[in-house]
Amino acid sequence: MSLDLTKEEPQLTDIYDITLGTGEKLYLTPYGGTYTKLPKIDGNEYQTVPITRTKVSYHTDLQVDTVDISLGIHAFTISGKTIIEAIQLGWFDNAEVIINIINPAMVTEKREIFRGQVGKGIKFNRKTAKPSVTSTLDMLKQTIPKIIYQEQCNHRLFDSYCGLSKASYKQTGTADTGSTKTKIIDAVFNYATNPSGYFILGEIKMTSGDNNGVSRTIRLHNDGNAEVYHPFDFDVAAGDTFEVYPGCDKSGKTCDEKFNNYVNSLAFEYIPRPEVMY
């Protein structure tokens, strides 16, 4: 049922559905009126927190709309982390935000007024964090040109065009003693288990510990350990668990020999390289 805004002086409030980069969902509202809290909406319980936003504006051209949100940093924690810690861990990067308005007396009626993604570089001070949310315009997100004539494959590993299932390549491990912010030690990296270089350019995602939910790109795959390009925010402790996935250098040879997926490769292997073109 759509929200009827023609009724006389409706008492309206916002509700925010936020999906973090870790997959965790937050249900927030600034409402603090007649009810101690809002009734469940679509089966979800909304937490009352100090949260405000700027006005939503709409455009008929391709101008991108933005909404700035102000969120009290001491209002609640996320998986044991403060709002600031969650921001520093990158949990809010590219988080999806859906803003609806509802009448608290008739929570079955709601209207979506904005949908977008949180950008990076969130501003915060001792009281509030201020993420900026940019509207999702598919037309503006498309890459132009869509296909680049180059030696490397145009697809990303595990995307819909690549066709490979990421889940089928997932391996798990537990960090061993001596692991650090940049080096993770575990038997899954032994060459006897996975050959040299198998995980280079791949992804490692922590699934427990202080870095839970944070991913990094693998720079080096050594015998028994892997090193990442950018350090984790916190030390990786012995016993911290993780998921790890192989990497792809987008060459036709790797696609064929490593993934047996050459049929889906969009690499132009025989195009002249820039230094030999004339």
Q: Which of 39, 22, 21, 173 is nearest to 106 (CA)?
A: 39
Structure tokens at 254: 């790797």
- Contact between 186 and 175 (Cβ < 8 Å): yes
* 270 in any annotated domain: no
- Contact between 179 and 165 (Cβ < 8 Å): no
Asked whether the predicted pLDDT for residue 27 surpasses 60, the reply is yes
CA dihedral for 212, 215, 219, 221, sign (positive or negative) = positive
Residues 130, 47, single domain; the answer is yes
Residues 134, 176, single domain; the answer is no
* 147 in any annotated domain: no
* 227 in any annotated domain: yes
Predicted local confidence at residue 88, as pLDDT: 82
**Averaged confidence pLDDT in the chain:** 84
Reported as a single tens digit per residue, the pLDDT across 202-261 is: 999 999 999 998 889 999 999 999 999 989 989 999 999 999 999 999 989 999 999 999
Poorest-pLDDT segment among 33-47, 56-70, 162-176? 56-70
Range of the domain at 58: 13-141
Residues 182, 137, single domain; the answer is no
Tell me which of 76, 106, 141 is where a domain ends: 141
Residues 207, 244, single domain; the answer is yes
Residues 217, 177, single domain; the answer is yes
Residues 134, 223, single domain; the answer is no
* 241 in any annotated domain: yes
pLDDT band at 136 (very low <50, low <70, confident <90, very high): low
Residues 131, 225, single domain; the answer is no
**Whether the predicted model's global pTM rises above the 0.75 cut:** no
Rounded Cα distance between 109 and 207, Å, is 37
Instruction: Read off the CATH number of the domain in which 217 is found.
Output: 2.40.10
Task: Reduce the DSSP state of residue 169 to 3 states and report it.
Answer: helix
Residues 17, 115, single domain; the answer is yes
Taking 3-state DSSP, the helix, strand and coil percentages for the chain, each rounded to the nearest 5, stand at 10, 30, 60
Residues 172, 257, single domain; the answer is yes
Reported as a single tens digit per residue, the pLDDT across 157-194 is: 998 889 999 999 999 999 999 999 999 999 999 999 99
Domain count for the chain:
2
Residues 185, 101, single domain; the answer is no
Residues 192, 253, single domain; the answer is yes
- Contact between 45 and 54 (Cβ < 8 Å): no
Looking at per-residue pLDDT, the higher value among 175 and 20 belongs to 175
* 22 in any annotated domain: yes
* 5 in any annotated domain: no
